[in-house]
A and B are shown apart, each in its own frame.
Chain A
Amino acid sequence: MFDTKVIADNFPYLLSGVKFTVALACLVILIGTFLGVILGLMQVSRSRLARYPANLIVEITRDTPLIMQMFFIFFGLPALGIKLGTFPSAAIAMSLFAAGNAAEIVRGAIDSLPLGQFDAAKSLGMNYVQMMVHIILPQALRRMIPPMMGLFTTLIKDTSLAAIIGAFELTRAAQEIIERTYRSLEIYLVAAALYFLICYPLSYYTRKVEQRRVAGV
């Protein structure tokens, strides 16, 4: 009943999908974190000009399904003359999604710092940039790490949505094999196992960091 040969035969093809999943995830994590820090700082800025656009992006990316954002960028944006391929569409949608969520983590971490830190920095005669770089961000960083790593795990899993708009990665590779073999259970289980192998070490490590932080070490 359970066909192991179909797994062995198609395993290399699944691995070729893993390459794209990892590439997409890395790309999105890098761009998303970078943009997220900028957006997060804009959100805590005193200038409305910085706060409002940042809030807009954060709300839209966090309060709508990622797949809708992908559909909108892939199917909808061509109406405005912006025409992107499947992989770039997925990468851009996911980077914005990652940035919005990362920004919220950055903002949360900064907001959670005691006000005294801001006052102390000002009394030392630091300007805004100096204060952020030397006092606020290093402290906020420690609080950001566990939720950021949680976000990275979510992003790796969410790369599977790229398959829905037709970008090639692990899930799409699995679908293509199933189109030939009709062995859904075997192929999807192996794909799930591959995702698990990528995600579990990260979420295990996240928990360790979190425990250490809570323990105050």
Chain B
Amino acid sequence: MLRKKRWTVLSVLVIVSLLFAGAALAGTLQDVKARGKLLAGVKTDFPPFGFVDEKGVNKGFDVDIAKALAKELFGKDTAVEFVAVTSANRIPFLTTNKIDIILASMTITEERKKVIDYSIPYFMSGHLLLVHKDSPVTKYQDLEGRKVSTTQGSTGDIVIGKLVPKAERVKFQHNSESLKALKDRRTEAFVQDDMLLVDLQKKNPELKIVGWPPFEPAPYGLGVRKGDAEWLAFVDKTLTKMKNSGEYQKLWDAWFGESKDFLLKLK
């Protein structure tokens, strides 16, 4: 009896999963203006792009760009609410309308382009390796057969899977957890975007960065919902305006000035 009931449950499930419906899409620009504030998806574990300081305040390059967008929209840079996202959940957050835009150090990839639209590139990033000072690893090829921390949904994870399939990836949901595993010597390296690792290395002098120059470079873009042309045009226009007015360069210098010698140039 009980068993029969369970199989009914199963078959109903299968039928339900075959049904589907579409999703309506409104213009984000009007939504944002009507709401009076911008919902910006930023990271909290990715300095210097997005992190939270001791007082719980969101800081970083991405955070400042969100503020500039708010200023362009409403004339004041406080009309923005920051929503914490991770590499794995930022795209679902966007497609489910929890945020208006992704400002989360997100690399432009073909796979993601199928799901969302990207702004013009606003940063050029490659991948590096963070290892212990005494590590024999000097380049990504050395990772073969070794344990490597990666963050789920990050390009670092994808790139290592492609370049060094024999590396043993240990995957975490947050960058802080990937770093912790390396610091505890559970893994021998942490592969992520160059700028993040530079920042983390500064705070953790027992670690060093190897694998120069940054490999598999790719530009970052801001992410908006697919097909929302008006909103995308507004975002692109604002980014271009920031670049032309020198505001972009000012932010860049403030957050990355110390590292300018090795950072890849945005073409």
Contacts and interface: CB of A to CB of B under 8 A. Distances in A.
A and B touch in the complex (CB under 8 A): yes
Interface of A: 9, 13, 52, 55-56, 59-60, 63, 74-75, 78-81, 83-86, 164-166, 168, 175-176, 178-180, 182, 184
Interface string B29-63: 00000000000000011000001111010000000
A182 B52 contact: no
Nearest to B22: A81
A60 B10 CA distance: 9
A166 B8 contact: no
22 contacts: A55-B8, A56-B9, A60-B13, A78-B92, A78-B96, A79-B23, A80-B20, A81-B21, A81-B23, A83-B98, A85-B96, A175-B176, A176-B52, A178-B176, A179-B51, A179-B52, A179-B174, A179-B176, A180-B51, A182-B179, A182-B180, A182-B183
Contacts of B98: 83, 85-86
A80 B24 CA distance: 10
Given A55-B5, A60-B9, A75-B92, A180 B84 contact: no
A75 B89 CA distance: 8
Contacts of B12: 56
B217 to A, nearest CB: 26
A69 B209 CA distance: 40
Given A59-B5, A84-B96, A179 B23 contact: no
Given A55-B5, A75-B89, A180-B51, 12 more contacts: A9-B54, A55-B8, A56-B8, A59-B5, A78-B92, A81-B23, A83-B96, A86-B98, A166-B93, A176-B52, A178-B176, A180-B53
